[in-house]
Chains A and B, each alone.
Chain A
């Protein structure tokens, strides 16, 4: 069972109070982009064994979207952070580096 702390209301929310929103930090490629970029935006996703960044929505609570950094093998949660960012904040990345030295995810590490 996953327990994530909502960064907006501070509630330690159980997985059943949340809605999953898929992979975090996707960049949208819309009209004007080439087919390859558009396909990547629609379909190409990470499927890591280890550190992963996801979007979640506190749907039974405040209703806000937020981001979570967690490990897909151990379900360890490294931290949650607000949605108004296009990449994980430094504090989250340092928390991951402390526990999973040498981690990488897309072009982050």
Chain B
């Protein structure tokens, strides 16, 4: 029926919140050895869901690794950076990730976030933390659509508003 966009929950993968001095060479090297990609510039993500690094704030990145590797990745970061002032926290089970795919994926998200999702201003690899309906999220664009990370406690809500927005793009807000 609907082919404007598709909303589904991504399989669980590992997420590690990392805070520290992102400009430091030791930190960059440690992140790279765990995530397999270089430190992204501000407002961007390198890699993809399951293996990558997303820029969250001037002193915070989200390290994405396969779910099974979270324990070893956390341990490795802590070991390489012992003595450096950093925070490494496994948040894999505290967050969930949704995927919005399809030709009108940007229109679906534009109904929920105060963000210009046009490819000229929000291209592939752009990551932005923002407000999705009433909750905090991080959104990034990849080749086939968008990935949306939110707290697991609001996962049902986010799934609901995303599906509702997708239906609204299809039929109009009043469902006619």
Interface residues of A (CB under 8 A from B): 8-11, 13-14, 16-17, 60-64
Partner of A63, one of B42, B57, B128, B131: B57
Min Cβ gap B55→A in Å is 8
Alpha-carbon distance between A60 and B58 when the two chains are bound, in angstroms: 14
Alpha-carbon distance between A13 and B114 when the two chains are bound, in angstroms: 8
Known: A16-B114, A17-B114, A60-B136. A11 touches B57 (CB 8 A): no
Closest B residue to A63 using CB positions: B57
Alpha-carbon distance between A16 and B130 when the two chains are bound, in angstroms: 10
- CB-CB under 8 A from A63, the residues of chain B are 57
Contact A62 B114 (CB under 8 A): no
Interface residue tally on B, bucketed by range: 10 to 19
- CB-CB under 8 A from A13, the residues of chain B are 114
- CB-CB under 8 A from B42, the residues of chain A are 9-10
Interface: B43 (CB within 8 A): yes
Alpha-carbon distance between A10 and B42 when the two chains are bound, in angstroms: 8
Partner of A14, one of B56, B114, B129, B136: B114
- CB-CB under 8 A from A62, the residues of chain B are 56-58, 60, 129
- CB-CB under 8 A from B57, the residues of chain A are 8-9, 61-64
Alpha-carbon distance between A64 and B136 when the two chains are bound, in angstroms: 15
Contact A9 B131 (CB under 8 A): no
Contact B43 A60 (CB under 8 A): no
Min Cβ gap B91→A in Å is 15
Alpha-carbon distance between A13 and B42 when the two chains are bound, in angstroms: 15
Closest B residue to A17 using CB positions: B131
A/B interface sample: 10 pairs, CB < 8 A: A8-B57, A8-B58, A9-B57, A16-B131, A17-B131, A60-B130, A60-B131, A60-B136, A62-B56, A64-B58
| Other 11 A-B pairs with CB < 8 A, given A9-B58, A61-B57 | A8-B58, A10-B42, A13-B114, A17-B114, A17-B130, A60-B130, A60-B131, A61-B128, A61-B130, A64-B57, A64-B58
